[in-house]
Amino acid sequence: MKRLLHIALKDLMTWLRDPAALGVMLGMPVILILILGSAMGGLGGGEAGGGGIKVAIVDQDEPVADPARQELALGREITTMLVDNDELSSLFAIEISEDADEVRASVERGDLAAALIVPSGFSRSVNEGQPVELEVLRDPGADLSAGIWEGVVRSVAVELSRVSVIAQTAGRVAGEQGLPPEAVGAIVGKAVEQAAASEERAVRVEVRQAEREGEPFGPLDYYSLSMTAMFLLFGSMFGAFSLITERREQTMSRLLTTPTPRASFIGGKMLGIFLLGALQFGVLYAYTSGMMRVDWGGDPIATLSIGIAELAATAGLAVLIASIARTERGAGGLGPLVIQVMALLGGAFFPLTILPDWLQPVRYISVVGWALDGFQAVQTRGAGLVDVIPNIAALAGFAVVFFGIGVWRLKDAR
């Protein structure tokens, strides 16, 4: 066991003296977080692009009879207005639901960026000129998308407020004066003018952040997590380099002529990768949370557990890459390729919600996907250790599979 530890510490010392390794493991993620966090300001976590920002409308309103307009069903009108608008339909993927609780839960999970709930009695209140609220739910992890939806709903509310004022004014004047219908048009015109000048809003919008209070999350928060999830995986490349170099320079053969068991050698190499990654994780966590004020969420134990599980997968991937590549040059090609593909599929470069629904599960074939999903759950949805156990288990599964295949392929290596 002591030999295992000494092998790991030797590797750690070697990497800490290698400027290239330090640059890739620490310098690059910090720079990319800054660049992506600034340049990709148009995107945030849990949001959508090409397939439409995922939002939902729950219409709980009941139509009311109105002598002048026959029937007033503002909830239905709002829904139609939003769904049938060509510009809006290219931006949003709108789901119509009757279950407000389910929609709230979807927003809390981050499955929906935002939602609009038209409350019961909405039409009646507007018709009577009573103050009334439209409820907008926002996923704090999808700040920008939710903000766009909120803006759209606010503009609808402004229009409805005007309608409300107009209806009240016209109805009141017509009723009081007993004027003929042609005179009502003039009165309505006056009412519209009054409505436009009015500072008051009959229909207000109440915004609720799902399960979280305080500052909303932005791109910097997202990319701090995603780049950390991606660059932790880069440890596998340096681990593979190290294993291959030990074979090429015959230090591995020499080690195996000492009383050091093969298992201690492989274990020591994996522990070295793990320690390097733990150091990297600690530095990135401290830097992003301390210097960039990134909020990693309220459960550091859950975040740490996800990180540890990802590092285990990273160490396993190192053995697998070393068993396939055989040369440093090969590992230098294969390692970054595997890592970049995993990062892409896992949503490290852009939120996967921009992809069509059927394509989004690709994250689950990626180590980065599972890690990022877990980090985000803690950050934006208040998840705790129990909630991220599936992520930890999946990452541990990757570790076992990678390590198993790698060791099997390396069983005769000297």
Q: Which residues bind another protein (CB under 8 A)?
A: 2-3, 6, 10, 13-14, 17-18, 249-251, 253-261, 414
What is the sign of the dihedral through the CA atoms of 253, 255, 260 and 264?
negative
Kind and range of the H or E run holding 114: strand 114-118
> What distances in angstroms separate CA 88 from CA 81, 98, 113, 185, one per listed residue?
9, 21, 15, 32
Task: Give the span between the Cα atoms of 48 and 113, in whole angstroms.
Answer: 8
**CB atoms inside a 10 Å sphere around CB 18:** 14
CB-based burial, 179-204: b 16+ in 10 Å, e otherwise: eeeeebeebbeebbeebeeeeebbbe
Q: Judge whether 272 and 12 are in contact, CB under 8 Å.
A: yes
CB of 268 to another protein, least distance (A): 10
* 215's tokens: 């500052």
Pick 15 or 370: Cβ nearer another protein: 15
Pick 364 or 408: Cβ nearer another protein: 408
Burial of 63 (0-12, 13-18, 19+ CB in 10 A): middle
* 340's tokens: 């970049």
Pick 25 or 55: Cβ nearer another protein: 25
Pick 204 or 414: Cβ nearer another protein: 414
Q: Given the DSSP bridges, would you call strands 114-118 and 64-66 parallel, antiparallel or unpaired?
A: unpaired
Q: Measured at the alpha carbon of residue 138, what is the angle toward residues 90 and 297, in degrees to the nearest 5?
A: 125
Pick 255 or 311: Cβ nearer another protein: 255
CB of 253 to another protein, least distance (A): 6
Task: Give the span between the Cα atoms of 98 and 58, in whole angstroms.
Answer: 5
Task: Give the span between the Cα atoms of 35 and 46, in whole angstroms.
Answer: 20
Pick 10 or 109: Cβ nearer another protein: 10
Burial of 295 (0-12, 13-18, 19+ CB in 10 A): middle
Pick 17 or 214: Cβ nearer another protein: 17
At residue 133, what are phi and psi to the nearest 5 degrees?
-120, 140
For 73, residues 6+ apart whose C-beta sits below 8 A from its C-beta are: 61, 63, 64, 123
CB of 264 to another protein, least distance (A): 9
CB of 364 to another protein, least distance (A): 39
CB of 239 to another protein, least distance (A): 16
SS3 31: helix
* 75's tokens: 């909830």
Pick 70 or 257: Cβ nearer another protein: 257
Bridge partners of 72?
Answer: 64
Residues in the chain: 414
CB of 251 to another protein, least distance (A): 5
Pick 89 or 250: Cβ nearer another protein: 250
CB of 10 to another protein, least distance (A): 5
CB of 316 to another protein, least distance (A): 24
- Amino acid present at 230: M
Pick 108 or 246: Cβ nearer another protein: 246
CB of 262 to another protein, least distance (A): 11
Q: Measured at the alpha carbon of residue 112, what is the angle toward residues 385 and 82, in degrees to the nearest 5?
A: 165
CB of 411 to another protein, least distance (A): 12
